[in-house]
Structure 1
Amino acid sequence: MDWKAYLPMLWQGAVVTMTITLASIVVGAALAFFFGILRVEGGPILSAVALCYTEVFRGTSLLVQLFWFYYALPLVGLSFEPITTGILVLAAHVGGYGAEIVRGALFSVSTQQLEAARALNFNRFQTLFRISLPQAVVEMMPAFGNLAIETLKLSSLVSLISIADLTFSAQSIRNLTLDSTSIYSITLVCYFAMSLMLMVAIKVIERFVRRGDVLSRAGHS
């Protein structure tokens, strides 16, 4: 089999996969912080809304969510492009699990520091953004890293709504060549390589965040 003829197709699929993954992580992280903070600081009503969001997207199948957004929503007049649908569903998935990571990290901040903030007449907004969040972000980085890797792997599901990602491209080449072993082996290697690049990026971000936290603590000491 002449692999050179199919490399552009695999490369284009890998680019689509990484684009969807990175966009989903960024949007999902924003949702995670928003709903995670609401769980802690939103009061009874907003906290309940955030809880409903997290439980719905954590408690239902990602594949069913994908099909519902892609096939059911157009029936009520709301439709998106396939790539947009894939990004929204994966981002909602990241947001649901990430919100619990944010909530747990915020609760990990010691009560002594919160009491000290109140003693200094910090309001809730100041306490959250000057005391709790800077420390919580450091604690949540490993869990967010795992979630990012999981999102990359789950992104293969978008091939089921006709998005030409890496999995879709591999399946198309396999149907043309009937060479399952070679094509899926190369696909595994591609996903592993992308996972390694994502892990390295996460480690760099984590090191930067931890360094910033150390400098911040030194400045306050």
Structure 2
Amino acid sequence: MTDWGQLYRDNVTALTKLATDLAEEQLSTHVPATPAWTVADVYAHLAGGPADALSGRMDGAPGPEWTARHVGERARLPLTVLVEEIRAQQDAVADSVADSPSPALVWDVTVHHADLHEALALGRLPEQLWRPVLDSAGPRLVGRAGVTVRCDGSVWGDPDVEAAAEVAPYELYRAIFSRRSRRQMQAWGQPGLDVGQLDALCVFGPREDDQPQPA
């Protein structure tokens, strides 16, 4: 079973290191995966989301009004303060997700961490920081969408279905969490999936804006 608490801590450690390496001008870099947010805003969300969850302040979650509130509350805070808040609550978050089959806070930190790597052209997020999420959630979310994909030598979905897309693990992970456009997903290996199937695969709905794809 995946140690979700440790995966959360590992991402926090890496995000802390990333923060120390960022130049001031990078904090205002636009993050394509979350068009309304800058790099600093993503850190604000990664502090505010867990703080809200731990305190039970979840009205409107996970919708845009909820995220806008806690990001806005932290808009003027220095990055060092945001990172300290993230670090200070990591043990409580780890305890809260220990036995969860769908640890939303862990999924959230890995997805937004990858958003930052893509926005800042830092290359793909290290596999150990996202792969457990794909291995745990991927088959279930693919099955819920009613589609079949071939990924890393395995077939997820109905093995007898001919219309299955061939997709690399990282790209499937990003697509499942709505981080790839329809056009980018249609470029997956043939025979591929139709638009309706691709849309069903995206848990936050389809998107039309192409996203940066690490080499």
Q: TM-score, normalised by structure 2?
A: 0.27
Q: Which has the larger radius of gyration?
A: 1
- The structure, 1 or 2, with the larger RCO (C-alpha pairs under 8 Å, 6+ apart) is 1
Greater helix fraction, Structure 1 or Structure 2: 1
